Chain A
Amino acid sequence: MGSLVEFVGTIDLSPLWVTLKTTGTAIVIVFLLGLAAAYFSLRMPPRLQDLADSIFTIPMVLPPTVCGFILLLALGRNTAVGQWFIDVGFPLVFSWPATVIAASVVAFPLMYRSARGAFENLDPNMLDAARTLGWSEPRIFFRLMLPLAWSSIAAGTVLAFARALGEFGATLFLAGNYLGVTRTIPMAIYFEWMNGNTDVAIFWTLIIMLFSFIVILFVNLWSRRTTRYRHASEGGAS
């Protein structure tokens, strides 16, 4: 036991904080953007919808390294956008924001697709009924679409979270491997193992497994609680 504490004491825990910060920020961004993309893409004309859907989904099918490389080309110092961000002191490549961008881009399609599928499954008559009762579109979204689609959206969030947590390829390209800045746990596992520190690699592997399990379990429990009206006959309000 003592030797375990001693062992953990020797490990630099910064990859854990970088990962938490990165994944936490990315999941908020992905959650909001994914819902917005799903909501607005369904209101587009069909042809535009197909085009938008293809663009939103493509990071899911591309290898993460390709995503990272494209992002590097688009946001690096060779483009006006990239240069501008460097000039204002907020570089988008090889910096902490780069880890967030990489994780968000790669996780986004999972969120978007889940939300879109959930919205498509809602009965359009239900939403029309709300309209004829005078409900505004934002009210319909927050009071009807979100609660009714919630379990699918929660599932999408879990998938996106897992994807963001495990992001490696795009992060390596766009953010690099700077200890304490961009070295996330997946990055740490790879480089520790490369340097022969197998014990440390195993430590990080266990941490990430435990962490993933807890988060998924939490979301599942929470999702059941917020869709309690469906299981109403099992007890509760009656």
Chain B
Amino acid sequence: MSLEVRIKKALPGFALDVEFDSGDETLGFLGASGCGKSLTLKCIAGIEKPDEGRIVVNGRVFFDSKEGVNLSPQERKTALLFQNYMLFPNCTVAENVAAGLGRDVPKGERARIVDAELKRFGLEGFGKRYPSQLSGGQQQRVALARMLAAKPGILMLDEPLSALDAHLKGVLEQNLAGLFDAYQGTILYVSHDIDEALRFCDRIAVVDSGRIVEMGTGDDLVNRPRSLAGLKLSGCKNATPARKSGPYSVWLPKWGVELTSAVEVPENVACCGVRARFVERADGPGENCFRMRVDRVSDSRFERMLLLGFIDRDEADVPTVDAHEDEMKYLHQHLFWRLPRIGESELRLPQVGEEVWVRIPKDKIYLVTE
């Protein structure tokens, strides 16, 4: 069971150029919307035609521009799971689940498969209903049942959880995790959510502007991101342009400060990232310690996010900007700091206008080259 994809496709203002191989694993495609991750799935499914390249699924050539092979979507029969499920509204649940069964499947066998899939997804007794009579979560399970009943050679899921609210998501994530464990073969899972990808995927490919910019385990992506897109998609709140200023130091023009790194700085460093939760409180001046002003705070259930302005910043490269002048530039000059609200008394949390000293631990900064 394997998948080999090397494709190029030029669209107005966008070029897809994707290369990867995959075995019996769950491979995640992580990227912002419009980065080309869904387009890649559509190329594999045969809905979109690449300009050139080769797609081989489980030893069967789906597409090869050199040999002139281009199987139709029907021949590929990938049963791709779309973002909004694309259940057929005029067909009942049972008809939807049976949609991917070939006409050669006898009636009795057909009913048996449909019943088995409905049972697997806890949809017994829903067979005669129409999709519009189901909740979002039930619709999603019908879509999964339809995909599995079709027995595709690979499973491809395009943001299957994005249309659900948070509560349902938790339950369905467990459904999916069980399903993926039991499935023998390649699974491609497209998402823009790092936690979803970490939960399901053995490897994660970060896609940016039509290219895979990095590919590795979830641990690699979270602890050793290698690209700006990887940095941002792994949830790193602070990512700012950087320039090498010494063997172990980088200059950050937008922040107007210099940082010391625990590892040697690569020659072509482009960006520096710091996770908001890794910023520490400091007592006073020291290595990577900065005097900051709390400019904004926002609370979620368990955490407080603080927006810190550098008080002693060097304005040589980028002069300080006020929020009402240019909101984006203003944000780019600030450091995000995440503090837990649980246990810590609310009174000890920094408030707006307060001055605080923070340290950016030198072993917790990420330096990326693209």
Interface residue from A125, A135, A229 paired with B90 (Cβ < 8 Å): A229
Question: Given A132-B76, A133-B100, A134-B102, do A229 and B47 touch, yes or no (CB 8 Å)?
Answer: no
Decide yes or no whether A126 CB sits under 8 A from chain B.
Answer: yes
Binary CB contact string for chain A from 115 to 136 against chain B (1 if under 8 A, 0 otherwise):
0000000010110111111111
**Contact across chains for B133 and A232 when beta carbons are under 8 A apart:** yes
**Contact across chains for B74 and A134 when beta carbons are under 8 A apart:** yes
Name the residue on A nearest B75 (C-beta). A134
**Contact across chains for A133 and B133 when beta carbons are under 8 A apart:** no
A-side contacts of B146, CB under 8 Å = 133
Question: Given A125-B84, A229-B130, do A131 and B47 touch, yes or no (CB 8 Å)?
Answer: yes
**Contact across chains for A144 and B133 when beta carbons are under 8 A apart:** no
Decide yes or no whether B129 CB sits under 8 A from chain A.
Answer: yes
Decide yes or no whether B45 CB sits under 8 A from chain A.
Answer: yes
**Contact across chains for A133 and B82 when beta carbons are under 8 A apart:** no
A-side contacts of B102, CB under 8 Å = 134
In the bound assembly, the distance between CA atoms of A232 and B133 in angstroms comes to 7
In the bound assembly, the distance between CA atoms of A237 and B127 in angstroms comes to 10
Decide yes or no whether B73 CB sits under 8 A from chain A.
Answer: yes
CB distance from B127 to the nearest CB of A (A): 10
Question: Given A237-B128, A237-B129, do A132 and B79 touch, yes or no (CB 8 Å)?
Answer: yes
In the bound assembly, the distance between CA atoms of A8 and B84 in angstroms comes to 61
Interface residue from A132, A148, A227 paired with B47 (Cβ < 8 Å): A132
**Contact across chains for A133 and B132 when beta carbons are under 8 A apart:** no
Decide yes or no whether A233 CB sits under 8 A from chain B.
Answer: yes
B-side contacts of A132, CB under 8 Å = 45-47, 73-74, 76-80
A-side contacts of B89, CB under 8 Å = 148, 229-230
Chain B residues within 8 Å of chain A by Cβ, number: 30
B-side contacts of A130, CB under 8 Å = 88, 99
Decide yes or no whether B86 CB sits under 8 A from chain A.
Answer: yes
CB distance from B94 to the nearest CB of A (A): 12
Decide yes or no whether B150 CB sits under 8 A from chain A.
Answer: yes
Question: Given A123-B86, A125-B86, do A136 and B74 touch, yes or no (CB 8 Å)?
Answer: yes
In the bound assembly, the distance between CA atoms of A123 and B74 in angstroms comes to 18
Decide yes or no whether A147 CB sits under 8 A from chain B.
Answer: yes
**Contact across chains for A232 and B130 when beta carbons are under 8 A apart:** yes
Name the residue on A nearest B41 (C-beta). A132
**Contact across chains for B77 and A134 when beta carbons are under 8 A apart:** yes
Name the interface residues of A161-188: CB closer than 8 Å to any CB of B: none
In the bound assembly, the distance between CA atoms of A237 and B91 in angstroms comes to 12
Decide yes or no whether A78 CB sits under 8 A from chain B.
Answer: no
CB distance from B237 to the nearest CB of A (A): 34
Decide yes or no whether A3 CB sits under 8 A from chain B.
Answer: no
Name the residue on A nearest B83 (C-beta). A125
In the bound assembly, the distance between CA atoms of A126 and B45 in angstroms comes to 14
Decide yes or no whether A238 CB sits under 8 A from chain B.
Answer: yes
A-side contacts of B82, CB under 8 Å = 125, 128-129
**Contact across chains for B74 and A129 when beta carbons are under 8 A apart:** no
CB distance from A135 to the nearest CB of B (A): 7
**Contact across chains for B77 and A238 when beta carbons are under 8 A apart:** no
B-side contacts of A148, CB under 8 Å = 89-90
**Contact across chains for A129 and B86 when beta carbons are under 8 A apart:** yes
B-side contacts of A134, CB under 8 Å = 74, 77, 100, 102, 150
B-side contacts of A229, CB under 8 Å = 89-90, 130, 132
In the bound assembly, the distance between CA atoms of A232 and B99 in angstroms comes to 21
Name the residue on B nearest A228 (C-beta). B130
A-side contacts of B128, CB under 8 Å = 237
A-side contacts of B79, CB under 8 Å = 132-133
CB distance from B231 to the nearest CB of A (A): 32
Name the residue on B nearest A126 (C-beta). B86
Name the residue on B nearest A124 (C-beta). B47
A-side contacts of B99, CB under 8 Å = 130, 133, 135
In the bound assembly, the distance between CA atoms of A177 and B133 in angstroms comes to 56
**Contact across chains for B130 and A237 when beta carbons are under 8 A apart:** yes
Name the residue on A nearest B42 (C-beta). A128
Interface residue from A133, A143, A147 paired with B77 (Cβ < 8 Å): A133
B-side contacts of A144, CB under 8 Å = 88, 90
Name the residue on B nearest A136 (C-beta). B74
In the bound assembly, the distance between CA atoms of A125 and B41 in angstroms comes to 13
CB distance from B129 to the nearest CB of A (A): 6
A-side contacts of B84, CB under 8 Å = 125
In the bound assembly, the distance between CA atoms of A126 and B89 in angstroms comes to 10
**Contact across chains for B73 and A233 when beta carbons are under 8 A apart:** no
A-side contacts of B132, CB under 8 Å = 229-230, 232-233
What would 12 A/B residue contacts be, using CB atoms closer than 8 Å? Answer: A123-B86, A125-B82, A129-B86, A132-B45, A132-B80, A133-B79, A133-B100, A133-B146, A133-B150, A229-B89, A230-B132, A237-B133
Beyond A129-B86, A131-B73, A132-B74: 13 further Cβ-contacts under 8 Å?
Answer: A123-B86, A125-B84, A126-B88, A131-B46, A132-B78, A143-B91, A144-B88, A230-B89, A230-B132, A232-B130, A237-B92, A237-B128, A237-B130
